[in-house]
Structure formats: C-alpha cells, structure tokens
Amino acid sequence: MNDPGITFFAKPSEMNIRQHISLKPFNTFQIDIRANRVIECKTPDELKEAIRLATESEEKLMVLGGGSNVLFTDDFDGTILLNRISGIEITSENEEYVFVKASSGEVWHELVMWCVRNNYAGIENMSLIPGRVGAGPIQNIGAYGVELKDVLHQVEVIMIDSGETRILSNAACQFGYRDSIFKRDMKGKCIIISVTLKLSKKPVIHASYGSIKHELGKKGITQPTIRDISEAVIHIRQSKLPDPHTLGNAGSFFKNPEVEKAFFEQLKIKHPSIPGFEHHPGTIKVPAGWLIEQCGFKGKQFGNTGAHKDQALVLVNYGNATGKEILRLAQLIIKTVEESFGITLKTEVNII
C-alpha cells in the first residue's frame, strides 16, 4: 500500500478510466488482447492517483507509452497506465550546451524534430525511433552510432511504493547496451515522468555509419548539418523498416549479440562473410539480422507472422497473429541461430 501520508491531487472522476478494453490500438504489434482497466494519465498527479487506485485494488500495474517495444502474449490481468504527460522546456543553457527537459509521454521522434529545428545536437541519429520519451532510458535507445546515454543528463521518476519523486543522474541509471537500471534493480519500482538531455549548440556530426555516409554521398553532401543527418536516418529507416500503422511490428525484435573476439575469429573461418565490429575491447558485435537471414527466415511467413522481407530482425503481424504465435517464431529463430552459429540471441522486445 502507498504511504497514507502522501497526498494525491487528481480525482478519479476527472481521469479517463476504461474497463476491459482491447489494447490493440495501444501496441504497435497490434495484438488484440484485453486489460482489466486502462487509465490515461496526462499529468504526474494523475499518474500518482492511478498508481494508488491500482495498488488499492492489488492489481498488476504496467505503463504503456507508444507500445512500440512490447509483445502481449495473453490478456493483461491488471491496470494499464497510458502515459500521455506532455511538455518540452529548456531548463538551463550556456554558450555550448542546452539542457532540454522532455515529459515522458512526449513522442520521441517529435522531440528529435524539435531539437533539430532548434539546432540542438545529439539525438538526430535517433530520428524516427518509435515510442515515447519515457521508454528511452529504460532501453537506452540508440541508432547509427549514438545512444541515449551519450546525451542524457538526468531522469525524473515517481516511486510506485511511496509516490516520492526522485532524480537519477546518468551514472545512477547504470546504462548498458539496450539496458539500464530500469530493466534490473528498479524494474517495476518506479515510473519515469521526465528526461533531461544535455545537447550541444556546437554540433559534432556523427556520420561515420556506413549507410549514413552512403545516403549523404548520394545527395552530394560533404559537410552535413544535424538536419542532413536526421533526414538521412529517416530515409534509411523508412526504406528498411515496415510502418507499424500498416504492418504490425515492434522494430528490432532481437539485440545484436556480442561475442568474444577469439570466438568471432573461429566463426570467420567457418563463415568468411560474417560481419562484425569491435564494440568494446575484446568483444565483437554481430548483426542479429544477418544471422537470422543466413538461417533462411528473412521474408518467410509462418501462419500470421514472419520475419520481414527487407529486415530479418523485424518480426511482423500479417493481420491476425497472436502474441503466442509471434513468440513461438522468436523461439524458433533463437534455437536455429544457436544451432547454426553457437550464438544465443536475446530479445529486445519486452514480452508480457
């Protein structure tokens, strides 16, 4: 139970509370399952009140932002909080840097576009990543050579057991590759309400990623701006990844695995074309999409699901797939890749 000394400001009668409704509109896989209760929260106070209601009912609690990194395999026997807390503001700045605070319910791509328009550099390589701001620190989202941890200053959270607001520094978030404290020690214990980014007014361009260089080269751009980088990334993502509005998916389903350099060298002997790059000293990151494609899954349909024809890393819902059906395919892919390469893939998507 919550601390009885805590005051909750929102009134249930003022909140959008719905019972036993489908979550299909709220997850990008478009899985048609139901939740006991869905509460839309537009302010931190409404979020606190929703937590209290769920706690009093002794129900499971889950926060959904854009629903772009989740696979529901069954009805959710609990309360879903739809995070719709909005707002972007500058909290401080100097000649070199600007600190931008974004509420967790903001759409991530819209935040990126706001920063690009204002020439605040640091997240342009992460254009068009689906989902909302609050999911960013949980996953330590990243793309094309840049990760959120590179620019994150602090995260503001509400503790579920007490309603207390806390500030976590970058270091306190314990970021790793698609990992953070929010997936480990603080999983299920807090809800992110805002993220503050430290962005540069003097852009350092990250254009070394092969596909970005190629895209800029096609346009004859030799001195790119952050807008050029953003537009290149958007074009690349749109050409490779299916639009979840038309074909249900959650983007990359698996993480790119990291293996020991010595093991990778042995793989190179058996599979001379295997790609990889050094991520940390002594470890090599191997593209999961390549491994899956080599196992014959790319573009192959299994009932109502399959691996996308342009990107094997993306599992899709062709219209009537259940979460269990997609999970079975994921498990088959993991088993086949392990048997073929001795590498165990790990899911990036949160499976419920």
Active site amino acids: 178, 252, 348
DSSP for 63-81, written as a single string: EESS--SEE--S-EEEEEE
Backbone angles phi and psi of 331, in degrees to 5:
-65, -35
Among residues 304, 343, 336, the alpha carbon closest in space to that of 323 is found at: 304
Cβ proximity of 89 and 101 under 8 Å:
yes
Cβ proximity of 299 and 237 under 8 Å:
no
Distance between CA 144 and CA 178 in Å, rounded?
A: 14
Cβ proximity of 192 and 182 under 8 Å:
yes
Among residues 67, 71, 191, 199, the alpha carbon closest in space to that of 126 is found at: 199
Distance between CA 154 and CA 31 in Å, rounded?
A: 33
Cα-based torsion angle of the residue sequence 178, 180, 183, 186 in order, rounded to the nearest 10 degrees: -170
